[in-house]
Amino acid sequence: MAGHKGLVGSAIVRCLKNNGYNNIIERTRKELDLLEQNATEYFFKNEKPDLVIIAAAKVGGIFANSTQPAEFLYQNLMIQNNIIYYSHKYNVKKLLFLGSACIYPKLANQPIVENELLSGFLEPTNEAYAIAKIAGIKLCEGYFNQYDKNFLSLMPNNLYGPNDNFDLVTSHVIPALMNKFHTAKQKSKKSVTIWGTGNPLREFLHVDDLANAILFVMEKINAKEIYEKGISHINVGSGFEISIRDLAIIIKEVTGFNGELYFDISKPDGTPRKLLDDTILKQKGWHARISLHDGLRDVYSWFQKNN
């Protein structure tokens, strides 16, 4: 389990343990820096894991992505190349690589089906990250095509949940807004400023739902049936989309902030709409269970306890 301390990784560990899987190998970044090729090989050679889930990555919101393209491209390529290559070399039986919905073209047809991959230009603000993720998908597909490896990729839409990064500079929209509203309430501020027009539509998935989907895929779906459909990965989302403006209104209510909302239209909006078509997972019998309202309340109470 790579990246077990992160937002997604910690949810996967919770889910695996709740479902009776206790033989989980975890390493902190201090113990194993996945950017290091030799250290990664040493780990695989000695531990010989049967199953690998890659939730380790350099992750961030629009600001971090658009100001650090070199780090997003280099670190993500290194981490995933090291893990996927040594999983191949040391005979891992099944590997799941986690990408993100930003692999799709900026103006992809909506809801986005898996075959929209590489059908148009990427959103410039996260192009470096997306290119690294696309390379990871193609590496898994390559190991399947050439060596019949059971390596496959899952593309979640925007995620949120406990253990998220609430830093105002590097975080995604939900933790950033929650932190902003919470701080504004505490400091009795009259208003909160939100990046962009508020118009973009987004789909959000609670990490506990994602972890459940990951377990579902690990137990029930093999690479062969995905690649045989002519696609290179599987989408996973909640199926529910909301504008950033409406999201902000819910978070305002959840945090109890009473002031005004201002939209700073000088800041980038990112992709106008991003809704994933998750027919494949639904047809196999999986669907998300946590509503956005319930999920946001859950995250805010986690934030209050842990902030």
Catalytic residue positions? 129
Token pair of 264, please?
């700073």
Nearer to ligand NAP, 56 or 92 (CB): 56
Q: Compute the least distance from the CB of residue 173 to ligand NAP, in Å.
A: 9
Binding part of the chain for ligand NAP, among 56-64, 139-147, 185-193, 255-263 by CB under 6 A, reads: 56-64
154 binds ligand NAP (CB under 6 A): no
Count of residues touching ligand NAP (by CB under 6 A):
23
55 binds ligand NAP (CB under 6 A): yes
In order of 205, 238, 239, 245, 292, the CA distances from 242 in angstroms are 12, 11, 10, 8, 10
Residue nearest to ligand NAP (CB): 6
281 binds ligand NAP (CB under 6 A): no
Strands (E), 55-115: 94-98
The footprint of ligand NAP on residues 62-81 (CB under 6 A) is 79
Residue 153 contacts by C-beta under 8 Å, 6 or more apart in sequence? 96, 97, 98, 99, 136, 137, 140, 141, 232, 233, 234
3-class DSSP state of 276: strand
Token pair of 277, please?
């078509």
As a whole number of angstroms, the distance between CA 252 and CA 273 comes to: 22
3-class DSSP state of 111: coil
Q: Compute the least distance from the CB of residue 244 to ligand NAP, in Å.
A: 14
299 binds ligand NAP (CB under 6 A): no
Interaction site with ligand NAP (CB under 6 A): 3, 5-9, 29, 33-35, 55-59, 79, 98, 100, 156, 158-159, 165, 172
